[in-house]
Structure 1
Amino acid sequence: MTRARKPRSPRKPDRIVPDEQVEILPPARSFAPDWPRLLPPVAFGTAAGFLASFVVGGGGLLRHAVVGLLGMLVGQGIVGVTGWRASTGYRFLDSMAMAVIGAVVVVLLARFIA
Protein backbone atom coordinates (compact mmCIF):
# COMPACT_ATOMS: atom_id res chain seq x y z
CA MET A 1 0.00 0.00 0.00
CA THR A 2 1.58 3.24 -1.12
CA ARG A 3 0.75 6.64 0.17
CA ALA A 4 -0.25 9.32 -2.22
CA ARG A 5 2.19 12.17 -2.23
CA LYS A 6 1.01 15.65 -1.62
CA PRO A 7 1.72 17.86 -4.62
CA ARG A 8 4.28 20.55 -3.98
CA SER A 9 3.13 24.09 -4.22
CA PRO A 10 5.21 26.23 -6.54
CA ARG A 11 7.38 28.89 -5.02
CA LYS A 12 5.98 32.33 -5.22
CA PRO A 13 8.14 34.75 -7.22
CA ASP A 14 7.17 37.63 -4.93
CA ARG A 15 8.45 35.91 -1.79
CA ILE A 16 11.03 38.01 0.07
CA VAL A 17 13.85 36.14 1.80
CA PRO A 18 15.63 37.93 4.65
CA ASP A 19 19.37 38.45 4.21
CA GLU A 20 20.12 36.25 7.24
CA GLN A 21 18.63 33.23 5.47
CA VAL A 22 20.46 33.69 2.17
CA GLU A 23 23.55 31.53 2.00
CA ILE A 24 25.61 31.60 -1.16
CA LEU A 25 28.71 29.77 0.06
CA PRO A 26 28.77 26.59 2.10
CA PRO A 27 28.80 27.14 5.84
CA ALA A 28 32.16 28.04 7.30
CA ARG A 29 34.02 25.22 8.99
CA SER A 30 36.55 25.79 11.67
CA PHE A 31 39.94 24.10 11.57
CA ALA A 32 40.41 22.20 14.80
CA PRO A 33 43.87 20.61 14.86
CA ASP A 34 44.28 17.31 16.65
CA TRP A 35 47.01 18.42 19.07
CA PRO A 36 47.75 15.05 20.66
CA ARG A 37 48.71 13.71 17.22
CA LEU A 38 50.30 16.91 15.91
CA LEU A 39 52.45 17.98 18.84
CA PRO A 40 54.98 15.08 19.03
CA PRO A 41 56.23 15.43 15.42
CA VAL A 42 56.46 19.22 15.81
CA ALA A 43 58.42 18.85 19.05
CA PHE A 44 60.64 16.18 17.48
CA GLY A 45 61.26 18.36 14.43
CA THR A 46 62.04 21.39 16.58
CA ALA A 47 64.58 19.38 18.56
CA ALA A 48 66.14 18.09 15.32
CA GLY A 49 66.34 21.63 13.95
CA PHE A 50 67.91 22.84 17.18
CA LEU A 51 70.56 20.11 17.06
CA ALA A 52 71.22 20.84 13.38
CA SER A 53 71.77 24.52 14.24
CA PHE A 54 74.79 23.47 16.32
CA VAL A 55 76.32 21.95 13.19
CA VAL A 56 75.55 24.63 10.59
CA GLY A 57 74.42 27.63 12.65
CA GLY A 58 71.12 29.45 12.60
CA GLY A 59 68.58 30.50 15.14
CA GLY A 60 64.98 31.15 16.02
CA LEU A 61 62.37 28.74 17.29
CA LEU A 62 60.22 28.93 14.16
CA ARG A 63 63.25 28.37 11.95
CA HIS A 64 64.28 25.38 14.08
CA ALA A 65 60.79 23.90 13.80
CA VAL A 66 60.51 24.37 10.03
CA VAL A 67 64.03 23.15 9.31
CA GLY A 68 63.55 20.19 11.66
CA LEU A 69 60.24 19.15 10.10
CA LEU A 70 61.70 19.40 6.61
CA GLY A 71 64.77 17.56 7.88
CA MET A 72 62.59 14.72 9.14
CA LEU A 73 61.15 14.33 5.64
CA VAL A 74 64.55 14.58 3.96
CA GLY A 75 66.08 12.15 6.46
CA GLN A 76 63.36 9.60 5.80
CA GLY A 77 63.84 10.17 2.07
CA ILE A 78 67.55 9.45 2.44
CA VAL A 79 66.72 6.23 4.28
CA GLY A 80 64.17 5.25 1.63
CA VAL A 81 66.36 6.00 -1.39
CA THR A 82 69.78 4.89 -0.22
CA GLY A 83 68.97 2.51 2.60
CA TRP A 84 71.49 4.29 4.84
CA ARG A 85 70.43 4.39 8.44
CA ALA A 86 71.93 5.61 11.69
CA SER A 87 72.37 2.65 14.00
CA THR A 88 72.56 3.51 17.68
CA GLY A 89 70.52 0.63 19.01
CA TYR A 90 67.62 2.91 20.03
CA ARG A 91 64.84 3.62 17.57
CA PHE A 92 64.26 7.15 18.87
CA LEU A 93 67.94 8.08 18.54
CA ASP A 94 68.11 6.52 15.07
CA SER A 95 65.17 8.65 13.94
CA MET A 96 66.61 11.77 15.58
CA ALA A 97 69.99 11.23 13.92
CA MET A 98 68.41 10.89 10.49
CA ALA A 99 66.24 13.97 11.12
CA VAL A 100 69.31 15.99 12.14
CA ILE A 101 71.20 14.81 9.05
CA GLY A 102 68.20 15.75 6.91
CA ALA A 103 67.95 19.16 8.61
CA VAL A 104 71.65 19.82 7.94
CA VAL A 105 71.09 18.93 4.28
CA VAL A 106 68.07 21.28 4.15
CA VAL A 107 70.03 24.18 5.66
CA LEU A 108 73.04 23.64 3.39
CA LEU A 109 70.79 23.35 0.34
CA ALA A 110 68.94 26.55 1.31
CA ARG A 111 72.24 28.38 1.73
CA PHE A 112 73.45 27.08 -1.62
CA ILE A 113 70.29 28.30 -3.37
CA ALA A 114 70.26 31.69 -1.62
Structure 2
Amino acid sequence: MSIATEAWVIFLLIGLVAGFLASLIVGGGGLIGCLLSGVIGAFVGGYLFNALGISLGIENALVVQIIHATVGAIIVTLIARLIA
Protein backbone atom coordinates (compact mmCIF):
# COMPACT_ATOMS: atom_id res chain seq x y z
CA MET A 1 0.00 0.00 0.00
CA SER A 2 1.38 3.40 -0.91
CA ILE A 3 1.62 6.32 1.47
CA ALA A 4 -1.22 8.14 -0.28
CA THR A 5 -3.49 5.11 0.07
CA GLU A 6 -2.62 4.79 3.75
CA ALA A 7 -3.40 8.47 4.27
CA TRP A 8 -6.85 8.03 2.69
CA VAL A 9 -7.56 4.96 4.80
CA ILE A 10 -6.56 6.80 7.99
CA PHE A 11 -8.67 9.81 6.95
CA LEU A 12 -11.71 7.60 6.37
CA LEU A 13 -11.18 5.79 9.67
CA ILE A 14 -10.97 9.11 11.53
CA GLY A 15 -14.17 10.17 9.78
CA LEU A 16 -15.88 6.92 10.73
CA VAL A 17 -14.85 7.20 14.39
CA ALA A 18 -15.89 10.86 14.51
CA GLY A 19 -19.23 10.11 12.88
CA PHE A 20 -19.84 7.27 15.32
CA LEU A 21 -19.01 9.48 18.32
CA ALA A 22 -21.26 12.23 16.94
CA SER A 23 -24.09 9.74 16.48
CA LEU A 24 -23.70 8.69 20.11
CA ILE A 25 -24.01 12.31 21.21
CA VAL A 26 -26.81 13.55 18.96
CA GLY A 27 -28.23 10.27 17.67
CA GLY A 28 -27.82 9.14 14.13
CA GLY A 29 -27.94 6.59 11.41
CA GLY A 30 -25.90 3.71 10.15
CA LEU A 31 -22.41 3.15 8.86
CA ILE A 32 -22.66 5.28 5.72
CA GLY A 33 -24.29 8.15 7.65
CA CYS A 34 -21.53 8.04 10.25
CA LEU A 35 -18.84 7.98 7.58
CA LEU A 36 -20.33 10.89 5.64
CA SER A 37 -20.96 13.07 8.66
CA GLY A 38 -17.50 12.28 10.02
CA VAL A 39 -15.66 13.04 6.79
CA ILE A 40 -17.58 16.26 6.18
CA GLY A 41 -17.25 17.06 9.87
CA ALA A 42 -13.47 16.67 9.65
CA PHE A 43 -13.34 19.53 7.17
CA VAL A 44 -15.83 21.66 9.11
CA GLY A 45 -14.22 21.04 12.49
CA GLY A 46 -10.71 21.59 11.21
CA TYR A 47 -11.73 24.84 9.56
CA LEU A 48 -13.60 26.13 12.61
CA PHE A 49 -10.88 25.31 15.12
CA ASN A 50 -8.28 26.89 12.84
CA ALA A 51 -10.37 29.98 12.04
CA LEU A 52 -11.21 30.58 15.69
CA GLY A 53 -7.63 29.94 16.78
CA ILE A 54 -8.63 27.25 19.26
CA SER A 55 -5.82 24.96 20.41
CA LEU A 56 -6.62 21.97 22.58
CA GLY A 57 -3.13 21.60 24.01
CA ILE A 58 -3.04 17.88 23.22
CA GLU A 59 0.19 16.58 21.74
CA ASN A 60 -1.28 13.50 20.04
CA ALA A 61 -2.25 14.62 16.52
CA LEU A 62 -4.59 11.67 15.96
CA VAL A 63 -6.63 12.49 19.07
CA VAL A 64 -6.82 16.16 18.05
CA GLN A 65 -8.03 15.21 14.58
CA ILE A 66 -10.70 12.92 16.00
CA ILE A 67 -11.90 15.66 18.36
CA HIS A 68 -12.02 18.24 15.55
CA ALA A 69 -13.85 15.84 13.27
CA THR A 70 -16.32 14.85 16.01
CA VAL A 71 -17.19 18.46 16.79
CA GLY A 72 -17.56 19.12 13.07
CA ALA A 73 -19.73 16.03 12.62
CA ILE A 74 -22.01 17.15 15.45
CA ILE A 75 -22.39 20.55 13.78
CA VAL A 76 -23.00 18.96 10.37
CA THR A 77 -25.61 16.58 11.81
CA LEU A 78 -27.47 19.36 13.62
CA ILE A 79 -27.48 21.60 10.54
CA ALA A 80 -28.72 18.69 8.39
CA ARG A 81 -31.55 18.12 10.82
CA LEU A 82 -32.47 21.81 10.77
CA ILE A 83 -32.62 21.76 6.98
CA ALA A 84 -34.61 18.52 6.84
Task: Give the TM bin, normalised by the shorter chain.
Answer: 0.7 to 0.9
Cα distance in 2 for residues equivalent to 1:54 and 1:104: 10
What is the TM-score of this pair, normalised by structure 2? 0.86
Equivalent position SS for 1:84: coil
Structure 1 residue runs without a partner (length 5+): 1-33
1:48 corresponds to: 18
- 1:75 pairs with one of 7, 24, 45: 45
Q: Which runs of 4+ in 1 moved over 6 A?
A: none
Is the aligned partner of 1:104 residue 2:63?
Answer: no
Deviation of the 1:98 alpha carbon? 1.1
Q: In 1, are the aligned partners of 2:15 and 2:35 still within 8 Å (CA)?
A: yes
Shift of 1:40: 1.1
Summarize the Cα distance change of 1:89–1:35 in structure 2 as closer, same or farther, 3 Å threshold.
closer
- Higher RCO (CA-CA < 8 Å; seq separation 6+): 2
Larger radius of gyration, structure 1 or 2? 1
Offset of 1:96 from its aligned partner?
1.0
Higher helix share: 2
Percent of aligned positions that are identical? 33
Secondary structure in 2 matching 1:86: coil
* Equivalent-residue separation in structure 2 for 1:57 and 1:38 (angstroms): 26
2:62 maps to a residue whose letter is: F
Residues 19, 38 of structure 2: 8 Å contact kept: yes
SS in 2 for 1:55: helix
TM-score (norm 1): 0.65
How many positions carry a matched residue from both structures? 81
For residues 79 and 55 of structure 2, the distance between their equivalents in structure 1, rounded to whole angstroms, comes to: 21
CA distance in structure 2 between the partners assigned to 1:101 and 1:50 by the alignment: 12
- In 1, distance between residues paired with 2:61 and 2:22? 19
